Structure 1
Amino acid sequence: MNRAATVPAPSGPMMPFPRMGALGLLIVLVLFVLTPSALRYSYNLSSFAPGVAVVAVAVWGLATIGIVPGPPRAGWANHFLVVAVSCGLIGAHIALTYLRGEPELGRPLTSLALLGVILTTTRHVGFAFFASVPHQRIALHVLLGLFLVIAVMGLLGIAPRSELISERPLYPFTEPSHFAFTLMPFLIYGAVTAGPVLRLIILAVAAIMVILLKSLSLAVGLILAGACCLNGIALAIFLLSAFAGLSMLDLTYFTDRLDFAYGNQNLSMLVYRQGLELIQTSLEETGGWGIGFQRLGFTNLFTPSSNIIYALTGADLNLRDGGFNAAKLITELGVAGIILSLWYLVTLTRMVIRLRGVATGRLLLSDGTCFALAAFVGAAIEVFVRGAGYFTSTMLLGLAAIPYLRLSGRKALIHVAH
């Protein structure tokens, strides 16, 4: 059967919003993605949460007045029910943790209120960015190019002053790992939807960025992007070529971060090992219950790696975020965190398979649905490699993909015959 001739053009959920085209999508998405990092960078904020709350509510407002696409009216009751049940279960965990002897309620309840607001906006955020608009692919590829500009500026040392910046800031990101996990949805989308030649160019440029920026998070993200868009043989050739190229370089920076021996004092490795130790210690000390929502870094839970980090730096680096979000989730929510992490891993695998189908031509999806899948998959770097807490623009995009895909997935997905 001739695929191109017999398969109709895919159609995702398209809402009537004549005010926004590709340029409008690009502007709003740039502000959405970069504002939380820019506020944290400029005002020395301890987290991305204030900026994420601002952009989430702003997108909700823009969708409400019709400037950006909004969700259909049907389904609101189910959405609010899911948000209420989710917040209710976390609230019950907070209450029972308090009854178990946790003396502090202010931070958990404040964070729960913020979570409720953000979860409520996910439906609007999803349709604002994932619903199809004319020339959507061009806008998203341009945004991918903007990340390249940010990387080049960082390599040239062009960055405003900030008390939070590391040795290698990439404005508006304070460090390469934050740049890496924010880039992931756009890198995956760009690689999946590009033609064969452009796809290889995108992956090659990303590989060069890995070497120049010396970012292990970006390296893992590049492998994930390759897994989403290359078939088995092409992926094997890509990985072999990458390893052959890397073998000619000084890989000490990367190998130190993969050496988990207790004699290694590399901070990145210590932070990741700290996350693993926090999971084990929390589960053992609380009987699988967890230390409580948003309590990490505010209790007396420390590990051998935590003590080494403090001895080396004089600070409890990454103790509040656990190093990666799965560590934070499981440490705070115990068995419930394990269940959520496993659900994400299983769903992630399914989404990667769908994206591979798009890249290899076995599936046709709307550009918006591809972007939603890429956003969900891209959050994996924060969940399993390097995170910055629950409230980041990347995590919000990943969460927003869930209600969007639930409402649009079956209509937007077309199985292509061989």
Structure 2
Amino acid sequence: MNKLNIIETVGILFLLCFPSVVYVSLGSFSYGLFFVSLLFLVRFFKELVFIDKKILTLAFFLLCLGLYSTLLIIDRDAISKPIISAIILVLIIIIFSVLVDRVLITNRTDFNRLVKNIYHIFLVIGFLGVFNLTAFGAYLDLNKPVFPFAEPSHFALAYFPFSLLYMLKEKSNAFLVLPITLIFGISFPNLTFVIIFFIQLLILAPLRYLFFSFTLVLCISLLIPFLEFIDFDYFTSRIIFDPSNMNISNLVYLKGWEAAYIALSDSFFLGMGFQNMGFERTGYYSDLLFLIYKGELNRYDGSFLASKIIVEFGFLGVLFSIFVTWQSLKSYLFLRATKFCEGDLVSIIYAVVTLAVFVELFFRGISYFSPNFIVFLVLVAKNSIPFRNKLNAS
């Protein structure tokens, strides 16, 4: 590994990991991501003059959303939050646009090496987390920390894009990636990892093997209750959605959809405004969580991104969720049809990041200040959506 590749690997790992450390200490991803972005700003300051006008348009639009949201806010003591968040998000997006440009001009060999390095480091982080060997300081107060990440789901969201890129780089790598993803899902245990495993499996399996794959997965699922080392209750409590299921993750997820419905109906589909989630009235699941756990859990982030976006942007949030879903389907078809060595790198990165955002949107998210989500916005703003090679041909 040459010196330049070491610097790039350390830089991206710092970008992915440091915000989580700040989150554990201060309860916010935005501060950590903003600090890292400032460091990159110093490093790439001269390149800011070449910022794409489409990125500046996106930045201006986000600032307008922040200003507009101050008109909708109920608690006037919190009036600065939308503006400050919008400014921070704009600065982060501008810096990320420079980083994305630098990645996209990287030759394929260096890019492959970068993906391999980060994936192997994530393997070490994952297995240390499985055996709980890195918990210290503030992490000792957390339920299932995976240092530097606060929980397995946060680690899974960072792991997903690089594991998928590593798998696509050489299909033979799937014999390493797929079992390890499933091992992480069972060992932590963590439903997000299991969802990621299924996505990876569906991308990898040829069409003629899809039925066999589904049959195999079904058989494994039927055997799970008889395998004592698997926490079967953990998974059933998260996939059975009914009022009698008092699992905290289940209730928080249902509360997220409930909050979206309440915000849509009470705001006439306009939403509550940027960073105003939490000001909508409470519902059955919110009150139930407060009654059982004596706190407003995930009141301001909904636990998954679709909930927050729909609450804050109303019908525009619904349209955005539909757009990401449609793009995710196209991404899936593209990745199945293309060969990594032949496919356009921009389209491959966009497809992988889109699938990662889909997971954050509907299963487990970490707010707008997620590297996956910001890279997705940057690529959309740069009009990197068209899958220029194999998707159209298929």
The one-letter code sitting in structure 2 at the alignment partner of 1:121 is I
- Consecutive unaligned residues in structure 2, runs of 5 or more: 226-231
> Which of 258, 264, 275 is equivalent to 1:283?
264
1:335 to 315, 320, 330: 315
Shift of 1:377: 2.0
Kindly provide the CA deviation profile for residues 134-178 of structure 1, in whole angstroms up to 9, marking residues without a partner as x: 432122122112222111111222122316853211101111111
- The aligned amino acid for 2:255 is Q
Normalised to the residue count of structure 1, the TM-score between the two structures is 0.83
Q: Which residue identity does 1:397 align to in structure 2?
A: V
Change (3 A) 1:189 1:165: farther
Deviation at 1:366, TM superposition (A): 4.5
Cα offset, 1:200, TM superposition: 2.9
**CA pair 407-304 structure 1, distance change in 2 beyond 3 A:** closer
After TM superposition, the structure 1 = structure 2 runs for residues 257-406 of structure 1, keeping only pairs within 5 Å, are 257-297=238-278, 299=279, 301-359=281-339, 364-367=342-345, 369-403=347-381, 406=384
Percent sequence identity is: 21
Change (3 A) 1:115 1:266: same
1:393 and 1:30 map into 2 onto residues whose CA distance is 11
Q: Residue 294 of structure 1: CA displacement?
A: 0.8
Q: CA deviation at 1:213?
A: 1.4
Aligned to 2:228: none
Alignment of 1:204-223 (within 5 A): 204-223=179-198
2:83 alignment counterpart: 109
Counterpart secondary structure, 1:55 = helix
Contact 1:35 1:51 in 2 (8 A): yes
- 2:69 corresponds to 1:94: yes
2:110 corresponds to 1:135? yes
Q: Is the 8 A contact 2:263 2:280 kept in 1?
A: no
Q: In 1, are the aligned partners of 2:139 and 2:150 still within 8 Å (CA)?
A: no
Deviation of 1:321 after TM superposition, in Å, equals 0.7
> Is the contact made by 2:82 and 2:274 (CA closer than 8 Å) also made in structure 1?
yes
Query: What's the Cα RMSD here?
Result: 2.8
Query: Are the equivalent residues in 1 in contact too, given 2:17–2:148 (CA < 8 A)?
Result: yes
In the alignment, structure 1 residue 201 sits paired with structure 2 residue 176: yes
3-state SS in 2 of match to 1:135? helix
Structure 1 stretches of 5 or more lacking a match? Answer: 1-18
Asked if 1:244 corresponds to 2:222, the answer is no
User: Which runs of structure 1 show a deviation greater than 6 angstroms over 4 or more consecutive aligned residues?
Assistant: 414-418
Q: CA deviation at 1:87?
A: 2.8
Distance of 1:303 and 1:350 partners within structure 2:
36
In 2, Cα distance between equivalents of 1:184 and 1:350: 18
Cα deviation 1:94-141 (Å, max 9, x = unaligned): 15425xx66342111111211221222232121233432343212212
In structure 2, do the counterparts of structure 1 residues 416 and 395 end up closer, same or farther at CA, with 3 Å as the change threshold?
closer
The answer to which structure has the higher helix fraction is 2
Task: Give, in angstroms, the shift of residue 51 of structure 1.
Answer: 1.0
Displacement of 1:394: 2.7
Q: 1:310-332: CA deviations, max 9, x gaps?
A: 22222111111111011000011
How far apart in 2 are the matches of 1:229 and 1:58? 38
Matched, 1:186 2:169: no
Residues 82 and 365 (structure 1 numbering): CA distance in 2 closer, same or farther, change over 3 Å?
same
Quote how far apart the aligned CAs of 1:20 are. 7.3
Cα offsets for 1:29-85 (capped at 9, x unmatched): 1111111112223xx2112111111222333432335xxxx6893x63333123213
Contact in 2 for aligned 1:192/1:358 (Cα 8 Å):
no
- Going from structure 1 to structure 2, the CA distance change for 1:348 and 1:135 (only over 3 Å counts) comes to same
1:394-416 deviations in Å (ceiling 9; x for gaps): 32233333345639965xx4789
